Amino acid sequence: MCRKFCFFTSFTIVLVIVLTSTAKAELIGWWTFDEGSGTTAFDSSGKGNDGILGPEGDPKWVDGIIGGAIELDGSDDYIAIDSIADDLTENNFTVSAWIKTTAGEGNVIGANDSGSGHQFIFGVTGSGTLLVEASSNINSYPPVINDGEWHFIAYVRDGTTAYAYTDGKLVGMETPDGNPAGQVRWSIGQEWDDSPSDEFTGLVDDVHFFNHPLTEDEIQRVMKGGGFVLSSRPEPADGAIIYDTSVSLSWKPGDFAVSHDIYLGETFNDVNDGTGGTFRANQVDALFAAGLSGYPYPDGLVHGTTYYWRIDEVNEAEPNSPWKGEIWSFTIPPNTAYAPDPADGAEFVELNAQLSWAMGFDAKLHYIVFGEDYDEVSNADVGMPMGGNTNYNPGPLKMAKTYYWRADEFDGTETHKGQVWSFTTIGAVSGPNPADGAVDVKPSVILTWDAGSVATSHEVYFGMDADAVKNATTDSTEYKGPKALGKESYDPDKLILNSTYFWRIDEINGDNPDSPWAGNIWSFTTGNFFVIDDFETYDSEDNQIWIAWHDGIGFGGPGAEPYFTGNRTGAIVGDEDTYSYTEETIVHDGSQSMPYFYDNNKQDFSNYSEAELTLDYQRDWTEQGVDKLIIWFRGILNNDAERLYVSLSNRAGNPVVVYHDDPAATQIVTWTEWVIPLQAFADQGIDLTDVDRIAIGVGTRGNITIPGGSGKMYIDGIRLFQPAPEPQP
């Protein structure tokens, strides 16, 4: 399955990972395969463990995911790295590699002696999953990695426990057997029992070998191709709570730092971007203060504020310097109570729940207000004294009820009134969809909810005025009628763009004297766009993506519905290896996008690719003033360069076409927003009030004579937008 990758430039220096322990993981082998020619894969770790290309085969130097790579054809192609054995003295090590293959049953990294059995094999199974063999212990770990995409695989041996990773995520843990550290024959691309076997077919890039087990965080740093030179081990720890108005910041310097650029501020984005005056100093020492005279915030750090900080490591002798650090944070608690338990807005709270909270800064005494009415709790002057106790037992609670509470804090001088919190007990309606407070909601949304255990039916209230919905009865215009148990949905019809709506579900049970149970007021705000397709609803059952998007090969068979013979272009949409038949990893937003394969040189097919969607919703592309079509797309660097286009059609007449400005749009490797003014279609004669079909194509539409290229694209978020609001004076 495809993965979302981050690409980084490899450093041409010896790398040492900063571990969470006092030990360091020494890099004893690093083969980048950037040579481009020759019979030696040089070791960039500085240990001199150069790899020798097997003389029996003909490995090829090719482009990789980071610079160059080596291509192995599965027939006597391998790289011998035997000298690594001299630097591996015990069975505590980590190996990793980037691979790209469509084959199965191949060894990526292995340790074997003649006749000693498979002491260590790390590669791909015949079914395409990750393979780990440690003598008699043989395991395989999904997901499939022989899908023709780049994948990062790693194996960590920590004595009697081992861990397997795919694309930075832990996929397996085992108790290994064998003694890899006792072997003298190590290879990339094969295993060796008297002769080469289990040879790998595909591309291998950026192989690392450490003589220490790495953590999951360190594995991810290796995958990203950097991070060894970064600052680490922040003190205070990331996310710490500081009960003081000053702080001393320290960190573990990166291995190549000569000095440190220090950023500190109250906004994550400012610290991340180095803006807003957040740059504080460049200094040699790995220690910095704040909240004291002569330092940032000389009047003291502010209660109730989260501070963000970042350390960039600087070495003017290195071309990659400065190395931007991670963003860390610490918080000075507010004077008021915080961190309520149950959490504010919690649902399904048990009837015997105890309430607790984190005390405010320097609080000495606590007071609590508790009740069933928000206004009464909010407006109460004095709460129940709790002394120094930050826990409260409200006694038995009612089922399907929302409660409100607040905790006031006294610091010896002043009482700090707390925020009003709420929670709802078990039995109540829950699970609003859209979620409470959701934004950018489709104007065609269907409201759904989860029935409370007390309900035998529901009453629906809906409108644009929060108070009106809150106070509505069955005689109010906001009342939208009853819903039977098992029918937990309501269709409000098409809504106004960029507008906020409120709704409430009351639970009804005529046999219970406590009925009805009034629900909470939920809200959502529609987006300023209509969704043409966000690819979120497709699945592998009755709503397969190629049934909606007609491509070159079609689906089904004659005489059986649904059936489409195909449009005979080079387009193929969908991915039968995922649960939804869509792309589930490389997405712009949501959880699915459309994988789009194109082949403009396919025998007996047109020399362009096109997939077309017939619209059954939002055919009027002038409604509510929408004026632009936006499509998000992403290509792959090694795609063949082709144009991207969109065509629109009415029920009659020829399609009109708009091409992307970049003739190599298929090679753009980041998610790219394509904004098309609808006037560009209208100028070609399309009737925007009744658009029947939209098509996305690659190449020159109608081309049947000039062969083109092939590749894979990803499409997401096809929407119609209103004009952007005018800036305020």
418-467, pLDDT tens digit by residue? 999 999 999 999 999 999 999 999 999 999 999 999 899 999 999 999 99
The pLDDT value recorded for residue 583 is 96
End-of-domain residue from the set 332, 351, 372: 332
Same domain membership, residue 383 and residue 244 = no
The pLDDT value recorded for residue 57 is 76
Same domain membership, residue 436 and residue 570 = no
Sequence-ordered list of residues with C-beta below 8 angstroms from that of 5, at least 6 positions apart, any chain: 65, 150, 152
Same domain membership, residue 459 and residue 540 = no
| Cβ-contact 562, 556 below 8 angstroms | yes
| Cβ-contact 564, 553 below 8 angstroms | no
> 392 is written with which tokens?
């409260």
| Cβ-contact 274, 228 below 8 angstroms | no
Task: Report the C-alpha dihedral over residues 261, 267, 273, 276, rounded to 10 degrees.
Answer: -80
Q: Is residue 659 part of a domain?
A: yes
Same domain membership, residue 490 and residue 555 = no
Distance CA 347, CA 452 (A): 11
| Cβ-contact 217, 124 below 8 angstroms | no
pLDDT band at 503 (very low <50, low <70, confident <90, very high): very high
Q: Is residue 70 part of a domain?
A: yes
Residue 302 CB neighbour total at 10 angstroms: 13
Residue 7 CB neighbour total at 10 angstroms: 12
Same domain membership, residue 254 and residue 387 = no
CATH of the domain at 470: 2.60.40.10
Q: What are the distances in angstroms from CA 534 to CA 136, 529, 579, 631, 665?
A: 48, 12, 17, 10, 21
Closest CA to 617 of 525, 491, 715, 498: 491
Same domain membership, residue 383 and residue 258 = no
Same domain membership, residue 420 and residue 367 = yes
Distance CA 44, CA 29 (A): 7
The pLDDT value recorded for residue 198 is 77
The pLDDT value recorded for residue 13 is 32
Q: How many residues does the chain have?
A: 729
Q: What are the distances in angstroms from CA 373 to CA 131, 293, 423, 473, 502?
A: 60, 47, 12, 18, 19
29-59, pLDDT tens digit by residue? 889 999 999 999 998 776 789 999 987 778 9
326-376, pLDDT tens digit by residue? 899 999 999 999 999 999 999 999 999 999 999 999 999 999 999 999 999
Is 519 buried (19+), middle (13-18) or exposed (0-12) by CB count in 10 A? Answer: buried
Closest CA to 543 of 555, 553, 531, 530: 555
CATH of the domain at 648: 2.60.120.260
One-letter amino acid at 189 equals: G
One-letter amino acid at 518 equals: A
End-of-domain residue from the set 309, 332, 355: 332
Q: How many Å from the N-terminal Cα to the C-terminal Cα in the chain?
A: 50
293-306, pLDDT tens digit by residue? 999 999 999 999 99
Residue 630: beta bridge partners?
A: 675, 719
The pLDDT value recorded for residue 180 is 87
For all residues of the chain together, what is the average pLDDT? Answer: 90
Q: Is residue 290 part of a domain?
A: yes
Task: Kindly write down the DSSP assignment for every residue of 197-238, as one continuous string.
Answer: ESB-EEEEEEEEEESSPPPHHHHHHHHTT--TTS-EEEESPT
Distance CA 107, CA 124 (A): 6
The pLDDT value recorded for residue 114 is 57
Same domain membership, residue 218 and residue 111 = yes
The pLDDT value recorded for residue 195 is 53
One-letter amino acid at 104 equals: G
Q: What is the mean pLDDT of the segment spanning 645-665?
A: 96
Window from 10-24, 402-416, 469-483, 662-676 with minimum mean pLDDT = 10-24
Considering its fold, how many domains does the chain have in total? 5
H, E, C per residue of 192-207: EECEEECECEEEEEEE
> 593 is written with which tokens?
């996008």
The pLDDT value recorded for residue 729 is 62
Distance CA 187, CA 185 (A): 7
The pLDDT value recorded for residue 112 is 74
Residue 215 has pLDDT above 90, yes or no: no
Q: Is residue 7 part of a domain?
A: no
Closest CA to 175 of 212, 122, 124, 138: 138
Same domain membership, residue 272 and residue 135 = no
Q: Is residue 8 part of a domain?
A: no
Distance CA 584, CA 582 (A): 6
Window from 556-565, 633-642, 719-728 with minimum mean pLDDT = 719-728
> 191 is written with which tokens?
């295993």
pLDDT band at 5 (very low <50, low <70, confident <90, very high): very low
Q: What is the mean pLDDT of the segment spanning 147-156?
A: 96
Same domain membership, residue 202 and residue 61 = yes
End-of-domain residue from the set 204, 223, 242: 223
The pLDDT value recorded for residue 557 is 82
The pLDDT value recorded for residue 727 is 64
567 phi/psi in degrees, rounded to 5: -95, 5
Task: Report the C-alpha dihedral over residues 574, 575, 581, 583, rounded to 10 degrees.
Answer: -90
Helix (H/G/I), strand (E/B), else coil: 647: strand
Distance CA 25, CA 14 (A): 12
Print the domain residue range for 301: 232-332
The share of the chain scoring above pLDDT 90, in percent, equals 76
Distance CA 316, CA 314 (A): 6
Q: Is residue 2 part of a domain?
A: no
Same domain membership, residue 137 and residue 248 = no
Is 160 buried (19+), middle (13-18) or exposed (0-12) by CB count in 10 A? Answer: exposed
657-697, pLDDT tens digit by residue? 999 999 999 999 999 999 999 999 999 999 999 999 999 99
pLDDT band at 252 (very low <50, low <70, confident <90, very high): confident
Residue 248 has pLDDT above 80, yes or no: yes
Q: What is the mean pLDDT of the segment spanning 210-233?
A: 78
Q: Is residue 6 part of a domain?
A: no
pLDDT band at 153 (very low <50, low <70, confident <90, very high): very high
| Cβ-contact 464, 495 below 8 angstroms | no
Q: Is residue 11 part of a domain?
A: no
The pLDDT value recorded for residue 10 is 32
574-602, pLDDT tens digit by residue? 999 999 999 999 999 999 999 999 999 99
Distance CA 457, CA 486 (A): 8
Sequence-ordered list of residues with C-beta below 8 angstroms from that of 127, at least 6 positions apart, any chain: 104, 140, 144
Closest CA to 420 of 320, 344, 329: 344
Same domain membership, residue 683 and residue 578 = yes
Peptide bond into 342 cis (omega under 30): yes
Q: CA-based diameter of the chain, in Å? A: 88
CATH of the domain at 167: 2.60.120.200
285 phi/psi in degrees, rounded to 5: -70, 145
